[in-house]
Structure 1
């Protein structure tokens, strides 16, 4: 009996001693999946695990990661034409992992709470806990800074698209290559006016504050399909090093309160893009083809744009193919500050686009500068003549024609792509 009591006391003493020693010698850092560092750190671990170590040198100069439990994160991009693509990323799964960072060993424990979910997004609560010796706790900020730099490096020179997940904005798919703004051919002066207005707005933050004016700007780009509205917004965001937050007002589960929260918490240096706004609110009730009625109300959307509860420091773009269907309350000054028509191809636009396609590459095939200029002038005359007859062609149709054909074939078949459409003023 005495021996049993002694062993029990010894065991409890060992546990208490171990706990006390652990508290004095070890330090832990917890990161939950609501924090931005969570994604950065998992991506950093996945990156380090993908680089093979070379002997003991790697243990001292480069991070070393040992992980036997992996999880896959799949991103699916669904396109409007019905096609889709998927990207897979392997990250550290739930369980214990070990890393050696700058000579210090750390235990990484990823835990997932499957019994409770985040209320808005429905995603399980997760935490990553890093444990190391107390003397090495100064390495935590360095590690997180390195993880952030790695994440930013992957997005450098690229455009990030964000979509709404509940009340949060999350990156959608992989960062995309920025499109040069010169690659989007608009009627001369249109792109320059919009870009100049945005740059002026960005430089006048204090001017707005001094006069008590809400610091936000709204733009409406309207015109026929295929005229380059969305392409121009993407190119403009890339040229200003901005991201795009894509807002779908028809999304199921999106209500007025969630919309307020989303527009009040737009990521820094981001445009909010609402495409085809006429389809969402062509009437003051939003109803889809299957009879589903969204809980986002027209008045709720208006209040989110410029009401008392609306956020500031925001640039919003709206696009529409039918500006005449929009309610005047939506496009009044204060909600839409700049409205620009992005129309079908004008003669000048067609010529510029033709010369960009064939001005360099086709010369290798034996077409001289004079021939390119002659054919582009011919195309310009064709577009002008068709416009006089009430027939138009979109920039998207011209681009597709130039991609498929050489210069002579394009000019010979371009008339087949013109359609009868009411000519809007350019």
Structure 2
């Protein structure tokens, strides 16, 4: 493989870069000043309710969409006290020890595009490709909050929606296209969401003892005649991602429509050789079905996630080695077949040259290696070559429009029926309250 060494001085902090840095600007670019949109604070801890009866709950809550979401509830203070006493009695021997102070809560947020879940009011006109909802979750919290960006500082800042989880959310990741969202909880459960279509693709439980460390989306690919290929046509409700766990094991999670998700082990946790543990992962968009793995020893491998074998390894020329293997600095281009790696000269050879020569960037071109050249140049397949069972024929435009309108009308009718039912329930609650006061 042809290797070109580009000597340059880099910043001291090493972090992963997974986007293409070759961007061409045409004309003058003018950036507007930042505008303060909203200030979001972590929600308060759930406490006992002041409602005396379920009738007051139904009478004072305006809509049915927030009930049962973890925010509107009917739990008294005495019930919380009983649960706390039971917990303290059960785990008394663990609670008596000295515990460190809990760290501050950190927020993780994602900008979500308009979809079936993140709808935009009809009176609001927004250009295509502009986010309309901010998704936020805090460390140690169970809920994922959705805040509308179509608000001003004077508006009441309440979440548009709340997605509760059974355990605290540890990691969340949004795909580059903005169509898929993965929420990974601390108990090893992953929830896969299809934001574009408006439904969850499923729930995946990682093996026992595995907790998610990072999630990396792969461009969806198919296996055709023993090789990985990208379909040329549009792909809906089909996703794949690589999940790196805290025990250095690597898993592949795939989901497709209503078939349900599946999880498979790509790299097992090393037991005999800890230096082979995977500490960083990155997908390679120009090579379908492949990911880069970085080990603690500084080894860089290209892994085929379908056939579970190492395609090749990327080695730096002596006396260079990978700088900070636990936090490598690299760039895997999205549109071009190349890889950039930052290398650092060994300590035995340091001091012989300038600082610029001790830190270098190495350029790997995939198409200069015969095996990777075949994969890179034949990575797409047309619709005509796909099997009809794997990729059914598209419906005519009239039929697709008819199905789309039918689904939209069904959703609208269901919302109207729910609101009417909720209005009748509120009126009935107020009537019962008045009768109770008269008695």
TM-score, normalised relative to structure 1: 0.25
Q: Higher strand share goes to which structure?
A: 2
Higher CA-based Rg: 1
By relative contact order (CA 8 Å, sep 6+), the higher-ranking structure is: 2
Q: Higher helix share goes to which structure?
A: 1
